[in-house]
Amino acid sequence: QVQLVESGGGSVQAGGSRKLSCAVSGSDFGTYCLGWFRQAPEKNQRARVGTINSVGKTIYANAVKGRFTISRDNANNTLYLQMDSLTPEDTAMYYCAADRRTDIYCSALEGGFPDWGQGTQVTVSS
């Protein structure tokens, strides 16, 4: 089991940017899928923001495509989420997740990721 710890959340004005980080424990960080999910206020489920596989291929949800960028630093066991052009609709608790069972084909679903961080809140004001 890996441990994931998010950081970088906070308040930002609409149109601004924020970068989230996720520190991941373990020695095989570069070999599996990672993802970012978010849970908006009053929503019961976490929605995919995007995923990145072991070779750096990223897939994004339509709502964030062109505004958010996911990257990974395999040397430092860290996953990133760069968020630009933020809107109030991006307000949510953001979670990073890991699936060590797969390296290339990352799940698009919350249930496809066994390991999760505790989340970091991002609030965008208009």
pLDDT band at residue 16 under the 50/70/90 scheme = very high
Closest CA to 4 of 25, 20, 31: 25
pLDDT band at residue 27 under the 50/70/90 scheme = confident
Mean pLDDT of 14-30: 94
Positive or negative torsion for Cα 9, 83, 34, 74: negative
- Residue entry with tokens 């970068």: 19
Question: Token pair for residue 73?
Answer: 């630093």
Distance, CA of 122 to CA of 93 (rounded, Å): 6
